[in-house]
Structure 1
């Protein structure tokens, strides 16, 4: 009897840690848990830094198939490049570092090295794949899109049409500062906004967001990281998800909102337009608090608009990719590699 194929899955340490919730961690867990159902034996290697990644790659026997999270690969780009001569390396790129305005040249160069030498590159959205190819980081025939999946959840049941939700690490690229600037411009003041996410990754930025939020007399709530039932409850109680990102490859929070038939107001950047295909969303230019304020005002003051967006979001919910679809695509890439 032929044993099942084996893949080493190299990921950042703590992908199950509730304090480190991120879209990338959620995606990695779904892949880890789903591949055995496709006949794969998955050997997960968690690494805390580049030294850990380098050690994992050195210890892998020749010809081992290695699926490596792009964040971890970037920590040890030289080792990934060297290992590609004897291992079959597939990079799972959740984002593109070079697309971030504050990306450093060493980080961009590390990304360039590890993507150019990967045998295959899996990206989480069409936009990311096109950017990887446009920047000459990988040939088109080595790139595969495996969009994040979604599970149908109970539909949102908000108490108020102006209950807003924003989910994601408190960080410049997520644009929570833009959201606060926009809310300050909204003429009606009966809204409530929950901004959920970790304040640990970008502490100075997060401190400014927290300080600014305090000026809204309790209408802005920052509960920190929400997981499990607490996060599900936040979605259930919200009328609208706001995604004010400056950079976004796909947007797991948007996928979670779509799974609940929850409309979205977001920025037309990166993979967000692809994530809201099917309707139920208003998109505005990025880094434009006036445009975002106008969209939020329209949502709060136009009942016909709310009815239309909710109906579109509920219809789109029926056609979302599933995590089974995601894992099946990745399994096909691994088999080809």
Structure 2
């Protein structure tokens, strides 16, 4: 067994795509000959306090020289270059998506994060990204050589196909309520579709951004859709599976996605999809399974959802394409195997 450390900020048990990725990979790496241990970092990243940076430096400095150190990008991109240079272990950076592309950032902070992440990536021995689109962004915008990167797409668990055929039609969106998910835009897009019989459930953490949650509630109030939109909050995996099973269509209005794990989860159930082209989302779902619109365009999003709501034949054909694509998605063993290969290469 090759020893390795996997440094992850915050609570790894939180139900987000990034933490799910980390948990599943950690659990499977031993199957590929890597004895990976979880190294917990402060939860303030990507906005660490000076005290938390000092704690982080102490924790990571304790990793033995020569032991591969995987650092989740939520922390790594916000680490000062001087802190990274002092580490003795060879670093593998895991990038879900560039921190500077998070929506809602003030321009000075966006520039600061870009500079920080670019400097940090230059110090990593190898970089793992979760999608080809993220790898292309790192190459074009951050100057990372393609030869230094490995794409390890998230795995997807097999699931039963959603039955559909509900009245009213059940629409589902999954993801934390943060500015990047653009749920206020989704509600505004649904406002012209009141004549259709539908209900929307939004599943995901509601404590990440008071600004985004306030904007969502304001949109529900201003459009008069409060009785049609349910903010379900965070749920466990069994409850999330029930939401997917009960849905007729899946909606993802995100401004940017590093991969879009929820799209893969929707395809695993054969759900018709309406999503944006933000980041990797356009690549994750095939064109015959998803209607794709530009991010932030409420009018285009409304028109796309309207097509799905009004055409049962279209829903069926999109569902068939989604189900077929879902059966070809990689499993978590594929993901962990690719990362294990990088760890072994770095370990020499």
TM range (shorter): over 0.9
**Distance (whole Å) between structure 2 residues aligned to residue 208 and residue 44 of structure 1:** 36
Assess if the C-alpha contact under 8 Å between 2:104 and 2:180 holds in 1.
no
Assess if the C-alpha contact under 8 Å between 1:54 and 1:76 holds in 2.
no
**Distance (whole Å) between structure 2 residues aligned to residue 211 and residue 65 of structure 1:** 47
Deviations 1:41-79 (A, max 9, x none): 112111114333212221112222101101121342335
Greater mean alpha carbon deviation, residues 91-100 or residues 280-289: 91-100
The aligned residue for residue 300 of structure 2 is 291
Instruction: Determine helix, strand or coil for the equivalent of 2:275.
Output: strand
Match of 1:65 among 61, 65, 68: 68
The aligned residue for residue 272 of structure 1 is 281
Quote how far apart the aligned CAs of 1:81 are: 2.9
Quote how far apart the aligned CAs of 1:217 are: 4.3
Assess if the C-alpha contact under 8 Å between 1:50 and 1:72 holds in 2.
no
**Distance (whole Å) between structure 1 residues aligned to residue 268 and residue 53 of structure 2:** 36
Q: TM-score, normalised by structure 2?
A: 0.90
The aligned residue for residue 117 of structure 2 is 111
The aligned residue for residue 143 of structure 1 is 149
Match of 2:90 among 88, 91, 94: 88
Quote how far apart the aligned CAs of 1:186 are: 1.7
* Pair 1:6-2:3 in alignment: yes
Deviations 1:11-31 (A, max 9, x none): 012101xxx321000000011
Q: TM-score, normalised by structure 1?
A: 0.93
State the number of aligned residues.
Answer: 330
* Pair 1:156-2:162 in alignment: yes
Deviations 1:82-132 (A, max 9, x none): 146x32100000111233354422222221121111010100001100000
The aligned residue for residue 206 of structure 1 is 213
**C-alpha RMSD of the superposition:** 1.6
**Distance (whole Å) between structure 1 residues aligned to residue 54 and residue 171 of structure 2:** 42
Match of 2:252 among 243, 248, 261: 243
Aligned 1:1-337 pairs, distance under 5 A:
4-16=1-13, 20-48=14-42, 49-79=52-82, 81-83=84-86, 86-100=88-102, 102-103=104-105, 104=109, 105-158=111-164, 159-160=166-167, 162-214=169-221, 215-277=224-286, 279-337=288-346
**Distance (whole Å) between structure 2 residues aligned to residue 80 and residue 271 of structure 1:** 31
**Distance (whole Å) between structure 2 residues aligned to residue 323 and residue 279 of structure 1:** 25
Q: Which runs of 5+ in 2 are unaligned?
A: 43-51
Assess if the C-alpha contact under 8 Å between 1:243 and 1:265 holds in 2.
yes
Instruction: Determine helix, strand or coil for the equivalent of 2:335.
Output: helix
